[in-house]
């Protein structure tokens, strides 16, 4: 079922060549800095500020509706945030220089080699999201903080430690990339085993060692492969392939890690809460989420954390425990829990797609007006500044969301059955849990 | 360094510099000779800037935008029509002053409880192009009225006075009460007492006399003036005093918190029939009174002030014959 895209010499050379990626980088870096600039100096009115409109409407739409579901970590391959730090680390933008520059290049501490920090950074962003998503200045500060943190970490540590361990976005992209129909894998593992120098990991004159600290020869899932194509450039045996594959491929192999399991719950819970806060009719809830620092907000924050880290995993754990009871399985509860949490991955992804469809279609009109007047300074670059706000495709929004959620549930059921059979527990309680969550989400969206 | 490396570095540095420099360069060209005014709710700072300098005869270019909710922009005592100030959008306007002086600009939309504090001034200097209007002190100053003192009417009518019914006795009125000066300097209750003492009106009942007062008050205005007064009231007063003047506008609870008093009940016969137009003029122009009442002096023209006052009295009398505007 896999089809190797890199078998075509044209595709292979396009991906191996640094220029295509670099040119995209330049454009995106300029756009990224422009978003920070407009956030800092443009109008404080969110829906007329390029920073808000292009980051949280345009970019988010592309990311969650297209890039993640179809290309997995495709965004990470062109994300401009690591560019300056990597330039410093490598001493070059193109091919490796003759003389490797001397850098601090500390290894990332073993204890932190997991995505718990990413779980934390995402949760932090999520707690303040009402402010971040609507206030240009705050968006600019968050983007700038990510940008400078990435640079700082590149100066101190080796490879892309920010992307791999800190980036609040990277965590969930990695999680959902497992479901994507695109992968980078080695063609023949024996070649990697026999390979002496492993330039894909250590680097060579042809390219840099894996920035994501991954040995391609051992890749079995998409989670931590950033699709940067360095190994494609360095492999002396042309043993790296970029393949298309069926959706959901990596999910057949259930997760065994608690950090990844919790990532799935954080994303699922956040989608449910956002749907309630941003799309629901409860004004006091919106106000509580928005009034950062107030008593109401602290109440909201506690409820948010309790729901995501307490209630949701606890209910799921109950479901897993019950499933274990039904089959009298001998697998440990922890192992069954992490394995079955894999089923929540497609559910969460589809929750996010359905939720994002609402506000993306509702607010897409702002993209055109903001393009002409990015700072809200009264410009009209493309004569589209005066285009009035109007939601688009409203007639297909609800059917589309329902389709996405029901499809997500079916996908989850199939994933749950596979994962359950691996650990020999009954999937039924988890399916009931997922169905209930889908019904709640449907209720919030419709 | 290899050529490709050099080229990539040039590209990325120029790309970044372009993004950083171009917006500000373009903006500095666009904003030459234009004053940009940002509106924020008074609680968040009001107009910024709130003082503008201009020259007589030199066009003043303003670019208005709101940083939060919808505001409006108008200049007091000026024929320049008010414009909407929209969040995140720019509205350009140009005006020329032919008289030096201090002009007040203000928000025309009820943006918050402190909406009326959203004001700023334009200091216009230079020589007058047109002959200046002679300055006369307002009537309440000339009459030395104490506009802070309570002014309950000692007697009030038993029913709402009817101007149409009063009209039939109008021929009996002495000439002295028919002058605009009399109307402006007397409260309806004073007029009632004065009429009661007129011998030619001795046969009339108290109700007839009040009807006559209603007619007298109505005869000092026109339907067009009342209509203008009603428009001004709806725009500027109803937010606090309420649509019917009974002091229960949308901001009345906030005003109570802010100023310690609820807005005055303008439908109360005792206070309204005990107040002369000149007294109301003083309250309008100066404001204050230890309440949240703003000063409308720099905003309303003389004519607008009298129209508004006439409208306030019309709330006391029948019929309120105001043509639709």
Tell me the ipTM for this assembly. 0.90
Expressed as residue numbers, the domain containing A425 is 256-445
In a domain, B264, yes or no: yes
In a domain, B16, yes or no: no
> Ramachandran region of residue B101, left (φ > 0), alpha (ψ -120 to 50) or beta?
left
Predicted confidence (pLDDT) at residue B322 exceeds the cutoff of 70: no
> Which residues from A are below 8 Å from B12, CB to CB?
25-26, 29, 83, 93
Same domain, A13 and A53: yes
B19/A49 touch (CB, cutoff 8 Å), yes or no: no
pLDDT bracket for residue B287 (50, 70, 90): confident
Mean pLDDT value across residues A122-136: 95
How much of chain B, in percent, has pLDDT values that exceed 90?
75
In a domain, B19, yes or no: no
Test mutation, A96, A377, A380, chain B, max B CBs within 10 A: A377
Mean pLDDT value across residues A314-342: 94
Cis peptide before A438 (omega within 30 of 0): no
Same domain, B164 and B205: yes
B88/A30 touch (CB, cutoff 8 Å), yes or no: no
Same domain, A305 and A176: no
> Which residues from B are below 8 Å from A95, CB to CB?
2, 4-5
Closest partner residue to A37 (CB to CB) among B20, B87, B92 is: B20
Q: State which of A228, A250, A272 marks the end of a domain.
A: A250
Closest partner residue to B90 (CB to CB) among A18, A41, A377 is: A377
Closest partner residue to A33 (CB to CB) among B19, B63, B89 is: B19
Predicted confidence (pLDDT) at residue B133 exceeds the cutoff of 80: no
Same domain, B199 and B287: yes
Same domain, B183 and B304: yes
Mean pLDDT value across residues A386-403: 92
Mean pLDDT value across residues B68-72: 94
Residue A214: partners with Cβ closer than 8 Å, 6 or more residues away: A201, A224, A225
Q: State which of B125, B147, B181 marks the end of a domain.
A: B125
CATH code, B196 = 1.10.760.10
Question: Which chain A residue's Cα is nearest to B4?
Answer: A94
Contact present, A218 and A156 (Cβ < 8 Å): no
Q: Which chain A residues in 357-416 lie under 8 Å from chain B, judged by CB atoms? A: 373-379
Same domain, A93 and A164: yes
Predicted confidence (pLDDT) at residue A58 exceeds the cutoff of 70: yes
Residue B321 has a pLDDT of 55
Around Cβ A268, how many Cβ atoms within 10 Å? 25
Predicted confidence (pLDDT) at residue B235 exceeds the cutoff of 60: yes
pLDDT bracket for residue B113 (50, 70, 90): confident
Same domain, B120 and B140: no
> How near does any CA of chain A get to the CA of B45, in Å?
14
Predicted confidence (pLDDT) at residue A154 exceeds the cutoff of 80: yes
> How near does any CA of chain B get to the CA of A430, in Å?
46
Same domain, A72 and A165: yes
Question: Which chain A residue's Cα is nearest to B31?
Answer: A377
Same domain, A226 and A242: yes
Cα-flanking dihedrals φ and ψ of residue A439, to 5°?
-65, -40
Mean pLDDT value across residues A41-70: 96
Same domain, A174 and A229: yes
Predicted confidence (pLDDT) at residue A320 exceeds the cutoff of 90: yes
SS (H, E, C) chain B: CCHHHHHHHHHHHHHHHHHHHHHHHHHHHHCCCEEEEEECCHHHCCEECCEEEEECCCCEEEEEEECCCCEEEEECCCCCCCEEECECCCEEEEECCCCCEEEEEECCCCCCCCHHHCEEEEEEECCCCCCCCCCCCCHHHHCCCCCCCCCCCCCCCCCCCEHHHHHCCHHHCCHHHHCHHHHHHCCHHHHHHHHHCCHHHCCCCHHHHHHHHHHHHHHCCCHHHHHHHHHHHHHHHHHHHCCCCCCCCCCHHHHHHHHCCCCCCCCCHHHHHCCCHHHHHHHHHHCECCCCECCCCCCCCHHHHHHHHHHHHHCCCECCCCCCC
Same domain, B200 and B318: yes
Same domain, A211 and A283: no
In a domain, A14, yes or no: yes
In a domain, A243, yes or no: yes
Please, what is the Cα angle at A442 between A439 and A443, to 5 degrees?
Answer: 85
> Which residues from B are below 8 Å from A40, CB to CB?
none
In a domain, B23, yes or no: no
Rounded distance, CA A397 to CA A382, Å? 28
Instruction: Give A291-315 pLDDT, tens digit per residue.
Output: 999 999 999 999 999 999 999 999 9
In a domain, A115, yes or no: no
A45/B27 touch (CB, cutoff 8 Å), yes or no: no
Same domain, B200 and B307: yes
In a domain, A108, yes or no: no
> Which residues from B are below 8 Å from A18, CB to CB?
4, 8
In a domain, A106, yes or no: no
Rounded distance, CA B187 to CA B182, Å? 9
Same domain, A297 and A341: yes
Q: State which of B99, B125, B151 marks the end of a domain.
A: B125
H/E stretch holding A125 reads helix A116-127
Rounded distance, CA A67 to CA A62, Å? 6
Same domain, B222 and B286: yes
- Tell me, yes or no, if A43 comes closer than 8 A to chain B by beta carbon: yes
Expressed as residue numbers, the domain containing B96 is 34-125
Same domain, B293 and B264: yes
Same domain, B199 and B99: no
Same domain, A208 and A297: no
Rounded distance, CA A268 to CA A351, Å? 7
Look at chain A and report how many structural domains it folds into: 2
Q: State which of B98, B125, B152 marks the end of a domain.
A: B125
Mean of the per-residue pLDDT values for chain B?
Answer: 91
Q: Which tokens go with A121?
A: 């950074």
- Lowest mean per-residue pLDDT among A135-139, A320-324, A384-388, B232-236: A384-388
pLDDT bracket for residue A231 (50, 70, 90): very high
> Which residues from A are below 8 Å from B8, CB to CB?
18, 22, 93-94
Q: What is the pTM of this model?
A: 0.87
In a domain, A368, yes or no: yes
Predicted confidence (pLDDT) at residue A337 exceeds the cutoff of 50: yes
CATH code, B116 = 2.60.40.420
Instruction: Give A17-37 pLDDT, tens digit per residue.
Output: 999 999 999 999 999 999 999
In a domain, A77, yes or no: yes
A375/B27 touch (CB, cutoff 8 Å), yes or no: yes
Instruction: Give B289-306 pLDDT, tens digit per residue.
Output: 777 888 999 999 999 999
> Which residues from A are below 8 Å from B88, CB to CB?
43, 45, 47-49, 376
Same domain, A212 and A269: no
Same domain, B181 and B315: yes
A378/B63 touch (CB, cutoff 8 Å), yes or no: yes
A33/B5 touch (CB, cutoff 8 Å), yes or no: no
Mean pLDDT value across residues B151-174: 92
Size of interface A-B (CB pairs under 8 A): 78
In a domain, A339, yes or no: yes
A26/B27 touch (CB, cutoff 8 Å), yes or no: no
Same domain, B78 and B154: no
pLDDT bracket for residue B325 (50, 70, 90): very low
Test mutation, A52, A378, A380, chain B, max B CBs within 10 A: A378
In a domain, B13, yes or no: no
Mean of the per-residue pLDDT values for chain A?
Answer: 95
In a domain, B51, yes or no: yes
A26/B12 touch (CB, cutoff 8 Å), yes or no: yes
A45/B67 touch (CB, cutoff 8 Å), yes or no: yes
In a domain, B291, yes or no: yes
Question: Which chain B residue's Cα is nearest to A37?
Answer: B20
Same domain, B198 and B301: yes
> How near does any CA of chain B get to the CA of A26, in Å?
6
Closest partner residue to A377 (CB to CB) among B12, B27, B67 is: B27
Closest partner residue to A33 (CB to CB) among B5, B20, B65 is: B20
Look at chain B and report how many structural domains it folds into: 2
Mean pLDDT value across residues A404-432: 96
> Which residues from B are below 8 Å from A47, CB to CB?
88
Contact present, A160 and A52 (Cβ < 8 Å): no
Closest partner residue to A34 (CB to CB) among B9, B19, B90 is: B19
A44/B67 touch (CB, cutoff 8 Å), yes or no: yes
Mean pLDDT value across residues A337-345: 95
> How near does any CA of chain B get to the CA of A70, in Å?
29
Residues of B with CB under 8 A from a CB of A: 2, 4-5, 8-9, 11-12, 15-16, 18-20, 23-24, 26-27, 30, 63, 65-68, 87-90, 92
Residue B136 has a pLDDT of 84
Closest partner residue to A45 (CB to CB) among B12, B87, B92 is: B87
Same domain, A437 and A370: yes
Same domain, A276 and A400: yes
pLDDT bracket for residue B320 (50, 70, 90): low
């Amino acid at each position: 079922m896999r089809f190797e895209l890199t078998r075509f010499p044209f595709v292979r050379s396009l991906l191996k060549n640094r220029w295509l990626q670099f040119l995209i980088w330049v454009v995106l870096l300029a756009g990224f800095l422009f978003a920070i600039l407009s956030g800092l100096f443009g109008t404080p009115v969110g829906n007329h500020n390029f920073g808000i409109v292009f980051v949280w409407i345009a970019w988010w739409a592309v990311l969650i509706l297209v890039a993640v579901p179809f290309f997995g970590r495709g965004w990470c391959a062109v994300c401009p945030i690591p560019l300056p730090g990597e330039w410093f680390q490598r001493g070059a933008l193109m091919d490796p220089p003759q003389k490797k520059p001397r850098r601090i290049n500390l290894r990332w501490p073993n204890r932190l080699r997991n995505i718990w920090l990413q779980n934390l950074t995402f949760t932090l962003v999520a707690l303040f999201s009402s402010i971040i998503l609507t206030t240009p200045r705050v968006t600019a500060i968050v983007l700038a903080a990510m940008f400078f943190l990435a640079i700082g970490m590149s100066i101190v540590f080796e490879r892309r430690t920010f992307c791999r361990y800190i980036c609040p976005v990277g965590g969930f992209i990695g999680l959902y990339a497992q479901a994507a129909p695109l992968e980078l894998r080695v063609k023949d593992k024996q070649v990697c085993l026999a390979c002496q120098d492993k330039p894909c990991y250590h680097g060579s004159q042809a390219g840099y060692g894996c920035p994501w600290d991954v040995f391609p020869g051992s890749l079995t899932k998409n989670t931590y492969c950033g699709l940067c194509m360095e190994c494609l450039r360095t492999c002396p045996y042309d043993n790296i392939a970029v393949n298309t594959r069926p959706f959901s491929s990596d999910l057949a192999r259930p997760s065994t890690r608690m950090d990844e399991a919790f990532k799935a719950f954080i994303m699922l819970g956040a989608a449910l809460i956002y749907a309630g806060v941003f799309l629901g009719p409860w004004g006091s809830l919106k106000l509580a989420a928005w009034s950062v620092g107030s008593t109401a907000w602290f109440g909201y924050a506690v409820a948010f954390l309790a729901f995501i880290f307490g209630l949701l995993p606890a209910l799921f754990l109950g479901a897993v425990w019950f499933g274990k009871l039904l089959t009298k399985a001998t697998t440990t509860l922890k192992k069954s829990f992490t394995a079955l949490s894999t089923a929540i991955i497609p559910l969460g992804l589809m929750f996010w797609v359905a939720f994002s469809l609402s506000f993306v279609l509702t607010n897409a009109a702002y993209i055109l007006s903001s393009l002409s007047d990015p700072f809200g300074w009264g410009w009209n670059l493309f004569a589209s500044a005066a285009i009035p706000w109007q939601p688009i495709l409203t007639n297909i929004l609800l059917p589309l969301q329902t389709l996405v959620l029901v499809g997500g549930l079916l996908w989850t059921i199939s994933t749950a059955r596979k994962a359950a059979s691996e650990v020999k527990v009954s999937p039924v309680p988890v399916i009931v849990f997922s169905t209930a969550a889908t019904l709640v989400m449907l209720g919030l969206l419709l | 360094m290899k050529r490709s490396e050099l080229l990539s570095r040039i590209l990325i540095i120029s790309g970044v510099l372009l993004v950083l420099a171009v917006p500000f360069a373009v903006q500095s060209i666009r904003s030459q000779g234009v004053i940009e005014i940002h509106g924020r709710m008074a609680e968040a700072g009001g107009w910024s800037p709130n003082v503008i300098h201009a020259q007589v005869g030199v066009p003043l270019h303003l670019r208005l935008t709101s940083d939060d909710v919808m505001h409006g922009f108008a200049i007091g005592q000026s024929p320049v029509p008010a414009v909407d100030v929209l969040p995140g959008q720019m509205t350009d306007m140009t005006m020329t002053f032919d008289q030096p002086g201090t002009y007040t600009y203000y928000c025309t939309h009820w943006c918050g409880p402190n909406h009326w504090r959203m004001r700023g001034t334009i200091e216009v200097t230079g020589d007058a192009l047109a002959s200046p209007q002679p300055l006369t002190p307002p009537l309440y100053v000339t009459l030395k009225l104490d506009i802070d003192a309570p002014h309950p009417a000692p007697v009030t009518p038993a029913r709402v006075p009817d101007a149409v019914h009063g009209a039939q006795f109008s021929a009996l009125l002495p000439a002295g009460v028919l002058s605009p000066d009399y109307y402006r300097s007397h409260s309806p209750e004073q007029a009632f007492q004065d009429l009661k003492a007129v011998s030619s009106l001795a046969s009339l009942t108290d109700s007839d006399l009040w009807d006559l007062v209603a007619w007298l008050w109505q005869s000092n205005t026109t339907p067009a003036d009342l209509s203008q007064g009603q428009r001004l009231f709806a725009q500027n007063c109803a937010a606090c005093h309420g649509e019917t003047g009974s002091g229960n506008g949308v901001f009345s609870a906030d005003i109570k918190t802010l100023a310690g008093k609820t807005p005055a009940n303008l439908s109360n016969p005792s206070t309204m029939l005990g107040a002369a137009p000149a007294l109301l003029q003083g309250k309008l122009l100066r404001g204050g009174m230890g309440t949240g009442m703003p000063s409308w002096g720099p905003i309303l023209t003389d004519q607008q002030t009298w129209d508004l006052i006439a409208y306030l009295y019309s709330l006391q009398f029948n019929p309120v014959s105001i043509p639709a505007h």
